[in-house]
Amino acid sequence: MSNTPDLFDAAPAGPASGLAAERVHELHRLLHHHAHRYYVLDAPEIPDAEYDRLFRELQALEAAHPQLLTPDSPTQRVGGKVLDGLTPVRHAVPMLSIDTETDTTELGAQRFDARVRRELGLGEGDPPVEYAAELKFDGLAINLRYERGVLVQAATRGDGETGEDVTQNIRTIGQIPLKLLDVEATVLEVRGEVYMRRDDFEALNARQREKIAGGARGEKTFINPRNTAAGAVRQLDPALVAQRPLSFFAYGLGEVQGWSVPATHSRLLDALLAMGLPVCAERVVTQGSAGLVAFHQAMGAKRDTLPFDIDGVVYKVNSLQLQQQLGFKTREPRWAVAHKYPAQEMLTTVQAIEVQVGRTGKLTPVAKLAPVFVGGVTVTNATLHNEDEARRKDVRVGDTVIVRRAGDVIPEVVAVLPEKRQPGAEVFTMPRICPVCGSAAVREEDEADYRCTGGLYCSAQRKQALLHFAQRRAVEIEGLGEKLVDQLVDGGVVNTLPDLYRLGLTALASLERMADKSAQNVIDALEASKQTTLPRFLFGLGIRHVGESTAKALARHFGQLDAIMDASEDQLLQVPDVGPIVAQSIHTFFQQAHNREVVEQLRACGVRWEEGEPSPAAQLPLAGKTVVLTGTLPTLSREQAKEMLEAAGAKVAGSVSKKTDYVVAGAEAGSKLDKARELGVAVLNQDGLLRLLAGGQP
């Protein structure tokens, strides 16, 4: 449905072709509608990339037929509209927009540098321009006005000239100082982005899904962190805002009085940081286009592991004096550009809805998609989570849907475009029998998921159990991947875990597409996997609710497998992190004769580990303490810190509550740090953590 030049360009000069006029009219209608959904209601119906495509189509038509360009065209307005109910605020200094480079290759950076050099009158022999490169946060622009260091007003960007007063809402964001440290400025307007961290967003949606599963009416899951953050900031009720974990990064200035602003953008950000404002550490000062390209690539590679969404990077000429010399176009500065990354939300169509069976028998509806490039990879599957979610979103085969893939989260269908639905599309229903083995699928009370009751009779569960056991974090059998497991189970060669160790070279080599050499590699990998550790073995058994950290805690507490197998529920409850549900699950697992049999056979096949001395948690230095980790520590990875804490008997939790004893906060700590401060929980840095682990005062 793109602009078809041959049709329109063939129109005679003079009055525009009727077709072009019609399309322009339609694009006005569509863009006005979608801009309203996006800016005013914070509830877009189409992905940004689709909006941009329509916008560019209109721009192209207007360029080809200037007589069709009218003052009310969506291309003639930038930014949003003011929402009824919030008080308008006129910005002392307009809040500008920024030029965007949508070419996601290095060309984007090179073009910007070339333009800056040309406008500064620099020739080939002149030195490279110095740039400040930073991230383009995907949230909502906010102007914070501080008078004599005190936050007096917060406003949205609105149309750039007039925004909305959201002071009360912004005050609920713990990261935003209500008072700045040491400021000379009588007036200091700080500009930046309010956003929501991905983990905060996922946790919020998980809570929403639980509420919905529990029968709550009028609740919904949120589409993405950006809209959730924007919607929260523009809420009329600050109490509701406080329930949405928001974060903030400063990136610039508005009006300033009584302060001599540093000479470069990077120094300015350093100064804002020193005043107590959050500034993202992911920024560099660099020279010329090569430096920009390097930053774009480095951040592109890091994008998935950042704790928040970015939709690109921003390059700014570092010298404020050169910025002034370059000046502005109508709405954008000439000294800055946003260089995009591939969109994290795209439109595609649902070709089928399949139901997959997991290791624990959980049935997950998965949409099979027409391949689509989203978040930097080609996606063909997206989760619909469970029956309630699939029903609530009402995804049907043939539908056009928005797919989101951000970070390392599994791609998901976030919404359907109902107007694109084909007549006769059928409502999705969850099968009442397992699609793999035909056993009954049941949904337990208070549970959102259906489970296949087939257990190890179900080949899907058998396959998943083998893959779980063989994975790197369990006993690690290199080369035992999905394809091989499919062949082994479907061929009836392997049914249980011990069967793996009974595989002979001939049996393996006789499998289709298996060369002798690869068969020998599998045999070697199986042999190597026999020497393992108790936590890996325990985790590998796939006991429900026993993840890696619980397996470690069990091994530490009991020292030996037999002690775990024979432990009562009460004894299991002594282990840190083991509550009644987990204790019951472990106990039941080892009460079943067939599970004990599997363990015995594995031992008989030569699977072994070093057994240790029991070190009951109660005797460890941090026994009974709950610790939450947030942000990036200077030298320890989160995994390392967690491991050290658990070894000392502490429980490492995911969220901060009154029961938390310590929060260990590193760089870019988000809402968990705010929550800790709010509840008066002790906050440690890495040094404090190490002192605590050494048995001293933190």
Residues carrying an active site annotation: 136
Say how many residues touch ligand IVH, by CB under 6 A: 13
* Chain residue at closest Cβ approach to ligand IVH: 141
Identity of the residue, 298 or 433, whose beta carbon is nearer to ligand IVH in the bound complex: 298
* Residue 254 or 535 with smaller CB distance to ligand IVH: 254
Among 60, 64, 98, 511, binds ligand IVH (CB under 6 A): 98
Strands 400-404 and 345-357: antiparallel
Angle, vertex CA 485, rays to CA 484 and CA 486, nearest 5:
90
Report yes or no: 140 and 192 within 8 Å, Cβ to Cβ: no
Contacts of residue 577, defined as CB under 8 A and 6 or more positions apart, other chains included, come to 549, 550, 553, 646, 651
Distances (CA, A) of 611 to 281, 534, 553, 562: 44, 7, 14, 10
For ligand IVH, what does the binding mask look like between residues 342 and 371, x meaning CB under 6 A?
A: ------------------------------
User: Residue from 44, 225, 278, 333 that binds ligand IVH (CB under 6 A)?
Assistant: 333
Strand partners for 362? 451
Give the span between the Cα atoms of 195 and 338, in whole angstroms.
17
Q: Which is nearer to ligand IVH, 98 or 273 (CB)?
A: 98
* DSSP-derived pairing of the beta strands 662-665 and 682-684: parallel
414 near ligand IVH, judged by CB under 6 A: no
- What is the C-alpha separation between 659 and 679, in angstroms, rounded? 10
Binding mask 156-195 for ligand IVH (x = CB under 6 A): -------------------------------------x--
* Cβ atoms of 177 and 151 closer than 8 Å: yes
| Contact window for ligand IVH (CB under 6 A) among 92-100, 201-209, 468-476, 507-515 | 92-100
Residue 141 or 343 having the CB closest to ligand IVH: 141
Assess 436 for contact with ligand IVH (CB under 6 A): no
Question: What's the rounded Cα separation, in Å, for the pair 273 and 260?
Answer: 16
Which of 252, 375, 540, 542 contacts ligand IVH by CB under 6 A? 252
Q: Which one among 112, 131, 137, 315 touches ligand IVH, defined by CB under 6 A?
A: 137
> Mask: binding to ligand IVH, 22-61, rule CB under 6 A, as x and -?
----------------------------------------
Cα separation, 135 vs 583, whole angstroms? 45
Return the residue of 155, 277, 336, 567 that touches ligand IVH, per CB under 6 A.
336
- In this structure, the number of other CB atoms found within 10 A of the CB of residue 14 comes to 6
Task: Return the residues of window 298-317 that contact ligand IVH according to CB under 6 A.
Answer: 314
Tell me the HSE value of 543 on the side-chain side, using a 13 A CA sphere: 30
Span 189-228, contacts to ligand IVH by CB under 6 A = 193
Q: Which of residues 649-688 bind ligand IVH (CB under 6 A)?
A: none
Residue 79 Cβ, how far from ligand IVH at the closest point, in Å? 8
Contact flag: residue 253 with ligand IVH (CB under 6 A): no
CB distance 95 to 192 below 8 Å? no
Amino acid of residue 400: T
Collapsing DSSP to helix, strand or coil, 558 comes out as helix
**Which of 61, 133, 141, 607 touches ligand IVH (CB under 6 A)?**
141
Query: Using the rule CB under 6 A, which residue among 97, 453, 495, 560 binds ligand IVH?
Result: 97
Q: Which stretch binds ligand IVH (CB under 6 A): 129-137, 344-352, 370-378, 517-525?
A: 129-137
Please state, in angstroms and rounded to a whole number, the distance separating the CA atoms of residues 208 and 220. 6
Closer residue to ligand IVH (CB): 97 or 685: 97
Query: Pick from 251, 295, 315, 537: which binds ligand IVH (CB under 6 A)?
Result: 251
* Stretch in the footprint of ligand IVH (CB under 6 A) among 54-62, 91-99, 200-208, 661-669: 91-99
Query: In the complex, what is the shortest distance from the CB of residue 136 to ligand IVH, in angstroms, rounded to a whole number?
Result: 4
Q: Which stretch binds ligand IVH (CB under 6 A): 93-101, 172-180, 402-410, 536-544?
A: 93-101
Helix, strand or coil, per DSSP, at residue 50: helix
Distance CA 64, CA 68 (A): 9
284: which strand partners?
133
Report residue 404 as tokens: 């989101």
CA distance 86 to 543: 53
**Cα–Cα distance measured from residue 242 to residue 239, given in angstroms and rounded to the nearest whole number:** 5
In the complex, the residues that contact ligand IVH under the rule CB under 6 A are 96-98, 134, 136-137, 141, 193, 251-252, 314, 333, 336
